[in-house]
Every structure is written in C-alpha cells, then in structure tokens.
Structure 1
Amino acid sequence: MRIQIIIAGAVALSLPAAVNAAQLATAPLVPVTTPATAPVAPSILPSHASAHLPKLVEPQLHIARAGNGSPARIALTFDACMGKADERILSTLLRERVPATIFVTARWLRTNPAAVAIFRDNPDLFEIEDHGENHIPAVDFQTSIYGIAAAGSPEAVGREVGRGADAIRAAGLPEPRWFRGATAKYDLTAIHEIRNMGFRIAGYSVNGDGGSLLGAQETLKHIGSAKDGDVVISHINQPTHAAGEGVAKAILALKARGVEFVRLSDVEATGDNDTTGRQPGMF
C-alpha cells in the first residue's frame, strides 16, 4: 500500500505506508484529484518535505528621515481587507487633515462606497494602493498563513495583484503603484513576479495594532513608539475592534508631538528583500 500526498498543488509524493505511518494515519489526506487552488495544510506534509518549502519573508519598509532636528516624519499605512470602514479612524484622519496610505482589496471597495467617495474627494490626504482582489496571501506555493490559504501559484498571485489594481481604477481612483499582500508575507519568487508587474511592495517597520487584535491602550502604545522614518501598519476595516479606538487616539497623540505625516508617494521609501528598488519602466 502506498499513500499519495499533493505538495504545492503540483507534485504527487508517493510514500510507503510504513514511512511515518503513525503520523499520517491521523492526518487528513488530500485526494490526488484536489484542484491546484486548494490549500494544503502544513500538518499533512512530511517533515522533510516542509523543510524544502521556499522561505517566507515579511519585508521591512522605512521612509527617508526628516533629520536635522526636525519633527519626526512618519508614514501611516492602513489595510482595508474586508468588512466595513472604521469611521473612528477615517473621521479622525479627515478632521485632522492627516495624510495616509490605504491598501484596499477589491472586495472592500465593493462594500464601502461612502468611504471610496471620501477618498476620491480628498486626493491630497488619501493615497489608495493595492491590497489584492480577495485578501489572499501573495505566495506562489500552497500553504496557509494565519489560517488563510495562499494564492498557491504564480498565476494566482498575478490575478490577486492585477484584479486588485483593476478594482481601484474602476472605482475612479488614481493608478496604484504599491502593493501589500494579505498577511504581509511573501516568498522571494512572488516578490520578483509582483515587481515585474510594476509595483513596489510595502512592508512596514511598526506593527500598530497587531492585525487589529490588540486592545486600545496597547495599540496607542505601539503606534506612539514610532520614530523618524517609520512606516506604521494598522487596519481600517474593523469598526467593532478596540484597536480602532487606539489608532484614533494615537493619530491625535502623534500630531500633538508635531509629527510630519506623509504618504508613501510623498518621500523616498526603502524596503528590504528587493521590494522597492526602482526597475526599468517603473513609475
């Protein structure tokens, strides 16, 4: 008897039943007819196969510092993954005239027309960038990140990025130049593919709200720790989470400190893992 396991949607690994049988007996098996887009839980992969999966990276990003004793320069960036707009954050940005870069998915754009109208009416404040079509991690092999199935192939990564950009254009917003994928994790070949599509990839240097799961005070503390040149990531799509309250308070606290807020398009930004270097033909 032999057991077949699909790895990365492409290779059928045939193992004798005697090999690690005790572990395999309790793991869900993936039929060989499973479509290439179906996620493969890491738990069903033999340890030696998992060790050969490509490396995932979570890129850092910094902007050019103000320096010379000037007030700290900080870029606030927000992910709008799905769900509704967090009015606590959006109204604070609007009222205080604080510029920000917001990464939106196509699915979020479809369900938040009022927020999209605000973006269109305030181009001096809001830079709208690509967060993908359906909030799928831009990883071109099959895996799961924080419980979210990755795109799983170069073609699927291309669709996620390209259709997200299409939705931004269709909403009447300016051409996106940056991409940030769901979970902010990538494999190196996916980074190369996205760069070849003409996008820079937005990492970050300060995790403001822990995926919107932190409490208000902890979020305030995290964002308040930002220094000159930092890029803060938070979420603007969880109006029922306490983190949003902390984000709004942190914006006010940073402004009171005299921080210079900028969008990613306003200053030079540098990321690691070849995520931002300009390439021929890039804007």
Structure 2
Amino acid sequence: MGKSIPTPIETPITTGISKEIPIETPKETTAAPAPAAMDTPTIPSAASSDQSSSPSPAFTTLEKTLIERYGNAKPKKWGENVPGVRTHLTTKDQVIALTFDACGGKEGSGYDEKLINYLIKENIPATLFINARWITANKDIFAKLAANPLFEIENHGTEHRPLSVNGKLAYGIAGTKNVNDIIHEVKDNADQIEKLTGRRPLFFRSGTAYYDDIAAEVVHDLGFQLAGYNVLGDAGATYNTDQVYKALLKARSGSIVLAHMNHPEKDTAEGIMKAIPELQKAGYRFVLLASYTLN
C-alpha cells in the first residue's frame, strides 16, 4: 500500500463506542442474514444531528492536535488510490462486497427503490455509503435501511467533497480547503449516522472517492478506514445496463464494487439484477465490508 499511515491519536472523540476494528480471521458464513421487516423506527430528524451541538473537550483537543500536526503539510499524492485507501477484502473466499453510494444534493438525492427491493428479495447484503444531504432528503427511507440487517450504513461525507488540504477539484467538485474542513467533512456525518442509528460508521468514502495523502492520514487519525474499490460498477451512474453487467462480471474473490443507489432514473439496478445471478452461478457470495478486514 505504499507509505505507512501513522498510528491513530489516542484521544477519543466519542464515548461509549470503540472505533478500533479487531484484526482477526473473519468467520465463514453460509448464508446472508435474513432481511428485517422494513418498519420505520422512531428516530430524530436528520437535521437535528450533533452538528449543531458544542464539541466535546476531547474532540476539541483532537482537532487542535490534527491541525497542528498537518496544518503545514504539503500533499505529494492525489487520486483514488493514495496510501491508506483499502480496495480489497483480505480473503481467498469467493466473496464480493457490493457498495452503493448515496450522494445527495446536486449529485442526486433520489432513491433507487427497484435496486434496494431486489437486494432485499434476493437476500443480498450490501454496504451503503450515505451522505448527510441524502439523509436529510430521505430521513424515513434512511431509517428503514438502517433497520435492515442486510445493509451496513457507512459514511459518504457531510457535503460530498473530495478530501484535500488545498481545495483541489475532482470531477468539477471542489475539495476541502484545509485540515479543519477535512475533519468536519468526515466527523459531522459520522456523528449524525451514529445519533440516528446507534452505530458509529467504521468506513469513510469521500465524494468522488478522491483524496490527497495528507487527508488520508487525517481520516486514519480520526479512527476511520478509507474504503476504496477495485470494480467500478456504474461510473457515477452513467453506465447503461450492459456496461454495469459487464463491469460486475469482472469481480473476483475479495472484490469491492462501487455503484450508486441515488439515481433511480439510470440503469444501475437493471445491470446489477442481470449480473448477480451470473456471479452466484459462478460460486460467488455477497458480504458486508465489516465482515472482512480490508487491504
């Protein structure tokens, strides 16, 4: 993976929830968990998240420490696969992790109900990277997804921005401008997801999946893993059905697939629905990111 990432700072930023991920051999499962009833639990509005509350003294100390550590650092790398971004499950098992981004805002706050209903019907687990703006636009749907054990909810950022210390653009989207921006792009939505679901995300994926190497180190020091991919499933929901299908058939043992669940008007669902039976016939199973260590 290139340059090593420093040991995370020990100062906790939350209480009662450990973000350390045990490194152990993942347990083999014979079947995915049964889907739960999609009843909406009673949760507060996404707009009432911890973003408006005063930060804890522990977090204030951590924030200051990170700004002092990285505030004058100059990035040397930029892209989707800088050191620290994990793109594969560590396994030789015939398993694939399907991940779907929900970007929100001008990047789309739609809901691909056909895709999600298919996953539920076929008992296919998936990891959902959800942006704060999408949660605000779809709070009831978010609650249903979070309540279903087929789905793992992870962090797709607060404003769907590439992570940069100098505002670098990716796909026309301006990145974070400094270390403080990076911290809040990551932490504010993590706090919101934890408040709404009772579970703090383990993984972070930025808007556009672009980072500089300094930003990657900041995310690590905040206690999260950067989740990349090695199969581009729908190219930002621009692929047609056949392109999505062919992309997924390139998956191999330990692959992480990146696709989108926020563009129901596009062909992602049709391509996924066409590819999954073929992958199953080839002996592949589908798993959540948290079921395996990543490399």
Common fold, TM-score beyond 0.5?
Answer: yes
1:19-68 CA-partner distances (Å, limit 9, x unpaired): xxxxxxxxxxxxxxxxxxxxxxxxxxxxxxxxx9742031251112334x
Deviation of 1:190 after TM superposition, in Å, equals 0.3
Contact 2:75 2:165 in 1 (8 A): no
- Give 2:124's match in structure 1, choosing from 95, 98, 103: 98
Q: Distance in 2 between matches of 1:53 and 1:179?
A: 20
Matched, 1:250 2:275: yes
Aligned match of 2:36? none
Shift of 1:160: 0.5
Matches of 2:281 and 2:141, distance apart in 1: 26
In the alignment, which residue of structure 2 is the partner of 1:108?
134
Match of 2:102 in 1: 80
Which amino acid in the other structure matches residue 227 of structure 1?
R
Other structure's SS at 2:264 match: coil
Equivalent pair of 2:157/2:205 in contact (CA under 8 Å): yes
| TM-score (norm: length of structure 1) | 0.72
Deviations 1:64-120 (A, max 9, x none): 2334xxxx2111111111112211211111111111111101111111234323223
Matched, 1:133 2:155: no
1:142 is displaced (CA, Å) by: 1.8
Q: Does 1:167 pair with 2:189? A: no
Work out which structure has the larger RCO, using CA pairs closer than 8 Å and 6 or more positions apart in sequence. 2
CA distance in 1, matches of 2:246, 2:218: 36
Confirm or deny: 8 A CA contact 2:75 2:212 kept in the other structure.
no
Name the CA distance, whole Å, in 2 between partners of 1:136 and 1:173: 25
Q: Give me the whole-angstrom Cα distance separating, in 2, the residues matched to 1:75 and 1:173.
A: 23
2:189 partner amino acid: G
1:241 — aligned with what?
A: 266
Alignment partner, residue 92 of structure 2 = 66
Moved over 4 A (4+): none
- One-letter code aligned to 1:135: H
> Residues of 2 paired with 1:116 and 1:257: CA distance?
32
1:113 maps to a residue whose letter is K
State whether residues 157 and 185 of structure 2, in contact with CA within 8 Å, keep that contact through their aligned partners in structure 1: yes
Greater Rg by CA:
1
- Taking the aligned partners of 1:106 and 1:129, their CA distance within structure 2 comes to 11
Mapped pair 1:227 → 2:252: yes
Separation in 1, partners of 2:219, 2:290: 18
Q: Which residue of 2 aligns with 1:13?
A: none
Identify the structure with the greater strand proportion. 1
3-state SS of paired residue (1:258): coil
What's the counterpart of residue 53 of structure 2? none
Secondary structure of the residue that 2:290 maps to in structure 1?
coil
Closer, same or farther: CA 128–155 of 1 in aligned 2, 3 Å: same
Q: Is the 8 A contact 2:155 2:186 kept in 1?
A: yes
Question: What are the superposed Cα offsets for residues 171-193 of structure 1, whole Å, 9 maximum, x if unpaired?
Answer: 22521011000111100000000
Q: For 1:1-283, list aligned pairs within 5 A.
A: 54-59=76-81, 61-67=87-93, 72-82=94-104, 83-123=109-149, 125-270=150-295
Post-superposition offset of 1:224: 1.6
Task: Give unpaired runs (5+ residues) of structure 2.
Answer: 1-73
Letter in 1 for 2:241: A
Contact 1:128 1:173 in 2 (8 A): no
Q: What one-letter code is carried by the residue in structure 2 that aligns with 1:64?
A: T
- Cα pair 2:75 2:214 within 8 Å, conserved: no
**1:96 maps to amino acid:** E
RMSD over aligned Cα atoms: 1.7
Query: In 2, Cα distance between the equivalents of 1:166 and 1:135?
Result: 15
Q: Name the SS for the 1:204 alignment partner.
A: coil
**How far apart are the structure 1 equivalents of 2:216 and 2:115?**
30
- Which one-letter code corresponds to 1:220 in the other structure? Y
Structure 1 residues not aligned, in runs of 5+: 1-51, 271-283
Aligned partner of residue 238 in structure 1, secondary structure: coil
Select between 95-104 and 245-254 the one with higher mean Cα deviation: 245-254
CA contact (8 A) 2:75 2:213 kept: no
